A and B are shown apart, each in its own frame.
Chain A
Amino acid sequence: MGAAPAARDVTSYGMGLAAPLALFFLVFFVAPLLQLFWLSLHNDTAGLHWGLGQYLHFLTDPFSLGVLGSTLLLGAEVTAVCLVLGFPIAWLYQRVGPKLQTVIILIVLLPLLTSVVVRTFAWIVILGRQGIINATLQSLGLIDTPLKLLYTQFGVVIALAQVQMPLMTLPLITALGRIDPNLDDASCSLGAGSWRTFFRIVLPLSLPGVIAGCTLTYAASITAFITQSLIGGGQMLFMPMYLYQQASTLQNWPFAAAISIIFLLAVLAVVSVFTTLGRMSRGYGGA
């Protein structure tokens, strides 16, 4: 962009700077991943017989497919809750004074500063039979017997939504902050109501943030082993727990490896849907 004449193109950098990290990833991420894939191509637990048996077992078994489906659905539910609850906060952030902005940022970041185990245990206290919700409802006389909240899909979604909320809110705040506030005024002065302004101007322009937030929240919530197992309990089986069971308790590493690869591919598919939407939205936002 600069008008100064330059001997070389200053906007491009050598890839050398990325080499240390690239090497690190190659040794500690790509290599183990390949090893995992290699392991998954064996039909027996000792890893002696080659074959696609583990994949066939998973893909022809309605139970395993059910676990995969319910995990992907869980991610979608959590992402939806985070988006619906997180968007107003991000929107508000752009419209309040600097003092309130600090407060909002603090509230958004606070969960990140606490260990996920602590946050999850707090939810056990909140959702339990004698927890805050049940105690309040009972003292108000709204219910006679405590509601079952812990160890339900509802409980897992709510707890995960809170735990992962910052991953949604932060990209939204950034995206909304980049929108020129004059556009709002322009839209209003041209006769559009505030809802119409929101749907035609703010939402399309914030789509990159929405996509980024959704991708992060989705990936984090379907792999959240601790929250899923503590709030969901031992009978609600999601992919991370299924994997752990096969690898750790049963020592069936090839099947566990196949589960990981299938899970990885499923997540990649969902994430690539998000990124495709993101690319389309860029065209839309620019129009």
Chain B
Amino acid sequence: MIMNRRSLLTTALTLGAMKAFPGLSYAQARPLVFATFTGSWEEAHKAVLVPAFRKANADAAMVLDPMLSVDQIAKVNAAKANPPIDVMLHDPGPALVAVGQDLVEPYPVEKSAYYKDLIAEAQEPMGPAPFFQVVGLTYNPEAVKTPPTSWADLWKPEFKGRVGITNLNSTLGTGWLVEIAKMRGGSEANVDPGFKALEELKPNLAAVAANPGALATLFQQGQIDISPGNFNAIQILKARGVPVEFVAPKEGAIAFKTTIHIVKNSPNRELAFKLIEAALMPEVQTTLMNPPYLIVPTNSKVAMGGEIARVLAKDTAELKKKFVFQDWKKINEQRSAWIERFNREIKI
């Protein structure tokens, strides 16, 4: 931002005026604020969702303010009565935290034109899921000649020192551990088998990345050849020419609901509802499903196509069969204990 004398003066005057006339608060006049995620999410929303919303709502003013889920929660928490954000976007873990802390309003389901068309798993009364994130197996096709088919393949001796994972700070890392536990007879309430499996995975582990983004770059460096990975992140790498492939394991790909919520006490409640409606629209979801975004749709009226139909699911029925949804309420109960345990036990 360029600060010149005039803009500085205007700002100072505005601040002074707001001090002198407290009624003149920013909240009543501000545009709709949507806190999306940073990176490819922001790009996709700027290019597709925002224009669709503005077209449907007489060019209503809106602002994208991308930030992490935890930051959204912290900001709204700090000013509950007059929140600086109107619409929040969350992974399943933080979504439950936001609902638990009473930061979001129930979605006006009866008013919604699209809610009933969402597939059952995406119908969340406290905030529907306009998109899914999908986690499966990622591998380097130049080094791994036979494509993996199961999570169990990560334990194969041929991948000694070639496997990458992330720690449990991320939704990806936690969700994957739960899935491994389930594969070995555990559940969301009992991840002991998962930790035992991790212990056996140690000889194969080349890296425990600090976050999913760092994990993706390890493919670029040839540091790892196979790992659990996020479908969207892999498509971005692939588009940049990195040799990576995504495959849904036969146990099912892990699907995370990315939910969108109206913030409690939002001064722009009606527009917030309209924005969420736009995100649920089949037209918007179809555009976001196509390259370069490849975001998995949740509206059953959207016909699956392209890369998503090829590697994930051809239609809603197949999607339901191939996706595994996890109980994040149960996961959240014990997540901190798991992170602690992971800190202590996983040293390579």
- A interface residues, Cβ below 8 angstroms from B: 63, 121, 124-125, 128-131, 148, 150-151, 229-230, 232-235, 237, 241-242, 244-245, 248-252
Residues on A with beta carbons closer than 8 Å to the beta carbon of B73: 251
7 A-B pairs with the lowest CB-CB distances in the bound complex, closest first: A234-B167, A128-B221, A235-B208, A130-B222, A234-B208, A229-B210, A234-B210
Q: How far is the CB of B161 from chain A (nearest CB, A)?
A: 8
Q: How far is the CB of B102 from chain A (nearest CB, A)?
A: 13
For chain B, residues 178 to 214, give those with C-beta under 8 angstroms from any C-beta of chain A: 206-211, 214
Q: Using known A-B contacts A128-B223, A129-B222, A129-B223, determine if residue A249 contacts B209 with beta carbons closer than 8 Å.
A: no
| Residues on the A chain within 8 Å of B223, using CB | 128-129, 150
Q: Which of B57-71 contact A (CB under 8 A)?
A: 68, 70
- Tell me, yes or no, whether B317 is within 8 Å of chain A by CB: no
Contacts of A150 in B (CB 8 A): 207, 221, 223
Chain B residues positioned under 8 Å from A128 (CB to CB): 221-223
Distance in Å: Cβ of A259 to nearest Cβ of chain B: 13
Interchain CB contact under 8 A, A235 and B346: yes
Taking a contact as CB atoms under 8 Å apart, the answer to whether B339 and A230 are in contact is: no
Q: Smallest CB-CB separation from B224: which chain A residue?
A: A129
Contacts of A245 in B (CB 8 A): 169, 339, 343
Q: Which residues of B are at the interface with A, using a C-beta cutoff of 8 A?
A: 68, 70, 73, 97, 161, 166-169, 173, 206-211, 214, 217, 221-223, 335-336, 339, 343-344, 346-348
Quick one: closest A residue to B167, CB to CB? Answer: A234
Given contacts A63-B344, A245-B339, A250-B336, contact A125 B210 (CB under 8 A): no
Query: Do B169 and A249 have beta carbons less than 8 Å apart?
Result: yes
Query: In the complex the two chains form, is B169's CB within 8 Å of A251's CB?
Result: no
Asked if B209 and A233 sit within 8 Å, CB to CB, the answer is: yes
16 new A-B contacts, CB < 8 A, other than A130-B221, A250-B336, A251-B73, are A63-B344, A124-B217, A128-B221, A130-B222, A150-B221, A151-B207, A230-B210, A233-B210, A234-B207, A234-B210, A234-B214, A245-B339, A249-B70, A249-B168, A249-B339, A251-B97
B93 to chain A, nearest CB (A): 9
Determine whether the beta carbon of A129 is less than 8 Å from that of B221. yes
CB distance from A195 to the nearest CB of B (A): 43
A131 to B335, CA, bound (A): 36
Q: A252 to B221, Cβ gap below 8 A?
A: no
B70 A248 Cβ-Cβ under 8 A: yes
Name the residue on B nearest A121 (C-beta).
Answer: B217
Q: Complex formed: what's the CA distance from A150 to B339 in Å?
A: 23
Assess A250 versus B207: contact at CB under 8 Å? Given A131-B221, A234-B169.
no
Which of B169, B173, B221, B344 makes the CB contact (< 8 A) with A124?
B221
A112 CB → nearest B CB, Å: 24
Min distance, Cβ B32 to any Cβ of chain A, angstroms = 27
- CA–CA, A237 and B344, complex, Å: 9
- In angstroms, Cα B348 to Cα A232, docked, is 11
Chain A residue with the shortest CB-CB distance to B170: A249
